[in-house]
Amino acid sequence: MVEDRLSSSLTNRGYRRIDSNSQGIYLFCHTEEQDLVVVSVMEARNGTEFTQAQYKHILEQIKTTFLNSHPYRTQLLSLVLTQFPDRVKHFCTEIEENAHWIMDTSYNRLIIYENQPTDVAGLRETIEQLLEEEQKQRLLDNSSATYNQYNQVQKTDTIQGFASSQFKVFTLMNTIIIGINIIAFLVMHYTGAFGGEDQMLSKGALSWYFVKEEKEYYRIITSMFMHADWSHLINNMIVLLFVGYNLERAAGKFRYLFIYFASGILAGITSIGYNMWKDNAELSYGHSVFSIGASGAIFGVVGAMLLIVIVNRGRLEDISTRQMVLFVVFTLYGGLANARIDQAAHVGGFLAGLLLAAILYRRPKSTRATIEV
């Protein structure tokens, strides 16, 4: 386990372990010249074990104890071990005193945010090395225990690379959006609610004529949750399930939600503009072009994910730039090959996602992810 490797690595460097009376909290201390270096290790598996106030109180007690017993400078490094780094991120970003790093035990990576020191007593290299060893051992154990399954995963197509090695694909906002799409589809096609399928299409689908001339701006949103048939729905939701999961983990749930809806809205506006230019004439209700589907927003998610992967030097957890580029190329090609697909919305959503991610996403100053595909 990573805790054992950490203890062994620090002990080999001359650190002395001190167990506390609280479960999941232990210390390592070492005197370097006249400075005392204290490493506080806090296990927060679910990220909810400590409130920020409790976290600060624990560190204050630790620092006070050593200040009273050591006459020279004391350096305190807090290591938070967790499977959910987003839940403890505020420990690092909102508390500037001392040093606060996160050890992500799900992906065996060290996370150091911009406001934190990039190294403390040369410990960064030691920690990154032990995390790399832990990841190699995990892959070795997995490959020997489940060789057939692992081999199959390596041979799957590009989209399966978006799922994590533990096949976790559910996050809060992404799951809610998928659920709303499914419910809207069932209501539209299998109930008489809101006047039935024909009435919903005529009142909810995207049409430049009705948006521009009739001021029915709500269509830009309602059309995002309408699908023509099961194939249309399933294809969109499968892509969103994997790509949306990874984007929400990388950007956070509120940024993800903003990127999804903003991309969908900008995709709708792009579609409206293109169809107005293409038709180049006033059209009546009977001839107006209608479009439905979540693919504009989904392409925004894909565009945002591509930029985030590139910003993270070509790889983020299980996703590589090559996988993202191949996915975008194949999906755009599929749209070009089908005359019924609103390609303008796809392109508009994709470019919107790229732009929004460039504005909203901030890569942690140091994030080392050691999963290899």
Q: Where in the chain is the domain with CATH 3.40.1350?
A: 2-145
The CATH class of the 160-367 domain is: mainly alpha
Which of 40, 164, 263, 295 is flagged as catalytic? 295
User: Residue 146: its pLDDT value, please?
Assistant: 44
Distance CA 298, CA 201 (A): 21
- Catalytic annotation present for 70: no
Which of 30, 78, 346, 366 is flagged as catalytic? 346
Distance CA 239, CA 233 (A): 10
Best CA proximity match to 302, nearest among 272, 364, 366, 345: 345
Best CA proximity match to 329, nearest among 340, 337, 319, 318: 337
Q: Where in the chain is the domain with CATH 1.20.1540.10?
A: 160-367
* DSSP 8-class letter at 20: -
3-state helix, strand, coil in the chain (%, to 5): 60, 15, 30
- 305-334 burial code (b ≥16 CB/10 A, e <16): bbbbbbebeebbbbbbeebbeebbeebbee
Q: Is the pLDDT of residue 151 over 70?
A: no
Strand partners, 17: 28
User: Residue 342: its pLDDT value, please?
Assistant: 78
User: Residue 327: its pLDDT value, please?
Assistant: 67
- Catalytic annotation present for 295: yes
In which order are the strands placed within the sheet that holds 366-367?
Answer: 16-19, 25-32, 35-43, 74-82, 99-104, 109-112, 366-367
In this predicted model, which residue has the larger pLDDT, 266 or 127? 266
Distance CA 22, CA 204 (A): 57
User: Residue 335: its pLDDT value, please?
Assistant: 55
Amino acid at residue number 124: R
**Average of pLDDT values for 138-167?**
47
* Band of pLDDT at residue 71, cut at 50, 70 and 90: low
Structure tokens, 117: 């020191």
Residue bearing tokens 């830009």: 220
Going from the C-alpha of 346 to that of each of 186, 304, 332, the distances in angstroms are 24, 13, 8
Q: What is the DSSP string of 224-245?
A: GG--SSHHHHHHHHHHIIIIIH
- Between 2-12 and 123-145, two packed helices, what is the crossing angle to 10 degrees? 140
259-273: per-residue pLDDT in tens? 999 999 999 999 998
Q: Is the pLDDT of residue 154 over 50?
A: no
With a pLDDT cut of 90, the percent of the chain lying above it is 21
What fold is seen in the domain 2-145? Trna Endonuclease; Chain: A, domain 1 (3.40.1350)
305-355: per-residue pLDDT in tens? 889 888 877 666 556 666 667 666 666 655 555 546 778 888 999 999 999
User: Residue 369: its pLDDT value, please?
Assistant: 35
Distance CA 242, CA 261 (A): 17
CB 169 within 8 A of CB 163: yes
CB 269 within 8 A of CB 352: no
